[in-house]
Structure 1
Amino acid sequence: MKGFLTSIIFTAAALSAAASSPSEVRFHNEESDTLRINEILISAKAENGNAKPEVLISYIGKQLLGTPYEASTLEGSPERITVNMDGMDCTTFVENVAAMAYTVNEGRTSWRDFLYNLERMRYRGGKLNGYASRLHYVSDWIIDNAHRGIIKEVTSNFPGVQYAVKTIDFMSTHRDRYPALADSAEYERMRSAEIGYRSHRYPYIKSSKCSSKDVIKAMRDGDIIAITTKTPGLDVQHLGIIVMKDGVPHLMHASSAKKSVVIDSEPLSEYMRKNRSASGIRIIRLVY
């Protein structure tokens, strides 16, 4: 036990220079948030410490089942590394799970290590630098994190893959919906980030193909999926995690309709069939 505690203290000290300072972090409730993060990290390491990324993703996601749905938890001025374990939307649910899985794989079980990885995944280049540095668009999140070797998109390897070409500029063209963009400097930075996504080409699996046996066979329990949208200027409308039940994929996600993190009782294919504004899915996997 003494050696174990010494190892934890040494690890925390070694990372203190790299970890975000308290002034850069905004907790919903620091005591309960950090306690819950530590409990999940310790449990995941004990149960699945050396497991494949998808196994950790699935396990950690299930530890968050029942967490209330809460929108816009990241909004606030100035921009901070925001953590709220008492309420999540689809984006923060997936971010939290992925950052915790990456932390466990590193052999670490501290909320400070989680914060370090959360910042790496949430912000462009892995560093918080204002509102526009947040990877608001999923396409931007995929490209930035894939470039740094954290995730990989595997959609193009799936049978029946198609490609969409779309200009992604929803935020700048709907500036009034985003209070932070009232600041002219942040607005220009956001527009600058969107420039790289004019006529952006990305792979997706059409909604109608989600019931295909070949597509289902290629899916893994614990895959992160991004649900693409028909909405002009926007690439993705929702994020979740695949849970396989008797070989059939279901969606684990922070559901606004069900007001919490749930695993849908209906198969993913049925969810997609009913979602008229969705065009399909993209599949992302953690890399380590």
Structure 2
Amino acid sequence: MRIIVGILLVLATFLGAGAPALAAPAVDDATARKIDELLAVRAEAGDLPRAELIERLSARLLGTPYGANMLIGSATEPEQLVIDLRRVDCFTYLDYLDAASRSADRDEFTANLIATRYAEGRVEFTQRKHFFTDWAATPRVAATDITAELSPAAVTVTKHLNAKADGSTYLPGVPVIDRAITHIPSAAVDGAVVGGLRTGDYLGAYTPEAGLDVTHVGIIVQTPAGPVFRNASSLADYQVLDTPLADYLRTVPGIVVLRPIP
């Protein structure tokens, strides 16, 4: 199991008007350099729309090795704030991109990462946004679920997130949440749907499995050769890469699309 640099932060509140600045946790040198690179991209982007900024930031992490289960914390182990860009999984990849898109310096990056990853800014296992659709449903809301707007073929199913079919839970200590999950079946992702996708949209691979909304996440990038799914892949290449969207759709039941809030 890889060594993860993290620090346990005990925080009551942060962010908002008059909130005190947060001291950045210690990170390894490679991660520090990568954060600075992302912040430089953010500074150079000026007033570039946020979705396009996210694409630029995501490109700087192409080739980053994949690492499974990057976060530390459970019902029995204290949650730690992990900031480690030497490896990323599909969710932490998006965490870092979202935080960097909002930040001008390392302290802001840390604060925004917490706001992206945890509900109400509390670094606790039970407050972690474990599910993709938490980004559109749990403060601080980072994106809007636009799935239903993209296709009349969109299907909505009520899911009991975190509840397995056998009655147990995926994440002990985390409550079961009833949520309406809308997805577009892959077979219904036609030219109109693809044309409605924008660079920087967050895309999740819908799963019909009980208790889960998606099994993988990444971002959409529109290219001259067609749209690609930029993601931290756990398949053969084990790195952040671009997969032609059409190829990826053949491997999943459907998609859930969230659009970053400007």
TM-score by length of 2: 0.83
Question: What's the counterpart of residue 6 of structure 2?
Answer: none
Spell out, residue by residue over 1:70-108, the C-alpha distance to the aligned partner (whole angstroms, 9 max, x if none). Answer: 0111024421221111000000001111111122xxxx1
Question: What's the counterpart of residue 17 of structure 1?
Answer: 20
Q: After TM superposition, what 4+ stretches of structure 1 lie above 6 angstroms from structure 2?
A: none
Question: Superposition pairs for residues 102-117 of structure 1, below 5 Å?
Answer: 102-103=102-103, 108=104, 110-117=105-112
- Structure 2: give runs of 5+ residues left out of the alignment: 1-16
- Counterpart-to-counterpart distance in 2, 1:26 and 1:204: 39
Identity, % of aligned positions: 27
Question: What's the counterpart of residue 41 of structure 1?
Answer: 39
Asked whether the 8 Å contact 1:207–1:269 carries over to 2, the reply is no
- Counterpart-to-counterpart distance in 1, 2:145 and 2:225: 22
Q: Which residue among 112, 120, 129 is the counterpart of 1:125?
A: 120
Question: What's the counterpart of residue 4 of structure 2?
Answer: none
Question: What's the counterpart of residue 63 of structure 2?
Answer: 66
- Structure 1: give runs of 5+ residues left out of the alignment: 1-13, 182-186
**RMSD, aligned CA:** 2.3
Question: Superposition pairs for residues 73-222 of structure 1, below 5 Å?
Answer: 73-76=70-73, 77-103=77-103, 108=104, 110-128=105-123, 130-145=124-139, 148-160=140-152, 161-170=154-163, 181=172, 187=173, 190-191=174-175, 194=176, 196-197=177-178, 200-210=179-189, 212-222=190-200
1:270/1:115 CA distance change after superposition, 3 Å: same
Say how many residue pairs are matched: 240
Query: What amino acid maps onto 2:156 in structure 1?
Result: Y
Asked whether the 8 Å contact 2:183–2:255 carries over to 1, the reply is yes
Shift of 1:272: 1.6
Matched, 1:279 2:253: yes
- Counterpart-to-counterpart distance in 1, 2:168 and 2:26: 26
- Counterpart-to-counterpart distance in 2, 1:81 and 1:217: 38
Q: Which structure shows the higher helix fraction?
A: 1
Query: What amino acid maps onto 2:110 in structure 1?
Result: L
Structure whose alpha-carbon radius of gyration is higher: 1
Asked whether the 8 Å contact 1:216–1:248 carries over to 2, the reply is no
> Mean alpha-carbon deviation: is it higher for 111-120 or for 245-254?
245-254
- Counterpart-to-counterpart distance in 2, 1:220 and 1:239: 15
Asked whether the 8 Å contact 1:89–1:254 carries over to 2, the reply is yes
- Counterpart-to-counterpart distance in 1, 2:116 and 2:66: 21
Q: Which residue among 265, 268, 287 is the counterpart of 2:245?
A: 268
